[in-house]
Amino acid sequence: MEVIIRPDKEKATDLVAKIIAKAVQHKPGLVLGLATGNTMEPLYAELAAIHRDEKLDFSLCRTFNLDEYVGLKAEHRNSYRHYMNEHLFSKINIDIRNTHLPSGTARDLDSECEKYEQKIKECGGIDLQLLGIGKSGHIGFNEPLSAFFSRTRVKALTPTTIAQNSPLFEKPEDMPKRAITMGVGTILDAKRIVTLVLGKAKSEILAKAVEGPVTSMVSASALQLHPKCVVITDEE
């Protein structure tokens, strides 16, 4: 695992944008794993700016998001599909049919999870997976004690995650308590992983993830096992 510390949030975010832009230039049909959360908003704005100003071409890219809330329709303003359309997909020239998120409203959630894994396989696997880390140490929504071999499935969210994400909901109590998420095993199968973690509030969990023991108590510590993982962070 390589850890790169940039002086501030902007420089760390710019570096991740450059890495993604270079990967897309190098392989126009890149299979890109995507994440959500506040950390990613400036990153997606930067990618949209690179597309606008430097004509970065996403037309052949395929994307797979890490997770989606169970029970939220795609149109719900707090769904991750809505987040991705708003922050990235509507601002670049990607074919929306090539963008994938699990459906949180599928009638059969288990079969939705299996289909998601299958689709990733059919696309040849994820070339570059972008990740953030939640305060509980989760990657995707792999809460503590997620098996390192886990695949896409439904997970119950922990009180820490509910406390972190519920303020984004109009009525915080409406935040779903379950989500579909790629498993830790699914994430570790990506050929390359780029993790962006910013700010003081994440410093303690980041230290556990990169310097602590590899343990399912901190899902992000599984990244230490990946042969090609870079963590980009700021001084704070």
57/148 with CB nearer ligand GLP: 148
Residue 121 buriedness (CB in 10 A; 0-12 / 13-18 / 19+): exposed
Assess 36 for contact with ligand GLP (CB under 6 A): yes
Assess 186 for contact with ligand GLP (CB under 6 A): no
Assess 37 for contact with ligand GLP (CB under 6 A): yes
What order of strands is seen across the sheet that includes strand 192-197? Answer: 2-6, 229-234, 192-197, 128-131, 31-34, 62-65, 99-100
Calculate the CA 120 to chain-centre distance: 15
CB of 38 to ligand GLP, least distance (A): 4
User: Locate tokens 């992983």: which residue?
Assistant: 193
Question: For residues 18 and 232, what is the distance between their CA atoms, to the nearest angstrom?
Answer: 12
Assess 130 for contact with ligand GLP (CB under 6 A): no
Cβ atoms of 12 and 233 within 8 Å: the answer is yes
Assess 134 for contact with ligand GLP (CB under 6 A): yes
Kindly tell me which residue out of 7, 8, 38, 149 binds ligand GLP, with binding defined by CB under 6 A.
Answer: 38
Kindly tell me which residue out of 33, 104, 132, 137 binds ligand GLP, with binding defined by CB under 6 A.
Answer: 132
Question: For residues 54 and 67, what is the distance between their CA atoms, to the nearest angstrom?
Answer: 30
CB of 171 to ligand GLP, least distance (A): 18
Closest-CA residue to 35 (of 90, 101, 86): 101
Kindly tell me which residue out of 32, 120, 133, 175 binds ligand GLP, with binding defined by CB under 6 A.
Answer: 133
36/152 with CB nearer ligand GLP: 36
Cβ atoms of 197 and 206 within 8 Å: the answer is yes
Q: x/- binding map, residues 65-94, to ligand GLP, per CB under 6 A?
A: -xx---------------------------
Contact residues for ligand GLP, defined by CB under 6 A: 35-39, 66-67, 132-134, 140-141, 161, 165
